[in-house]
Amino acid sequence: MMEKKEICPICKKEIGAMGEAGRGRFCSVRCRQVDLGKWLEGGYRVPVSDADNDSEGGGGGSEGGGDDGGGDAA
């Protein structure tokens, strides 16, 4: 059976089978850390369309007048 080659998503270097040497899908610890840094800095984002936001009922939650009964009303 032919071994499937993987490509490091950071540097595009060809690496062995997935999970080889405990590095997962990265060729090195450096590339793994670069990827983590992108996640932590918000470099990876899921696009959201305005149509998705409109289906939530307008947002804001202003139904019911906004008084929850917990104020200092005299």
pLDDT at res. 30: 95
pLDDT for residue 48? 87
| pTM > 0.75 | no
State the pLDDT confidence band at 63, using cuts at 50, 70 and 90: low
CA distance 5 to 14: 7
Tokens (6 digits) for 6: 């993987």
In the three-class reduction of DSSP (H, G, I as helix; E, B as strand; rest coil), residue 10 is classed as coil
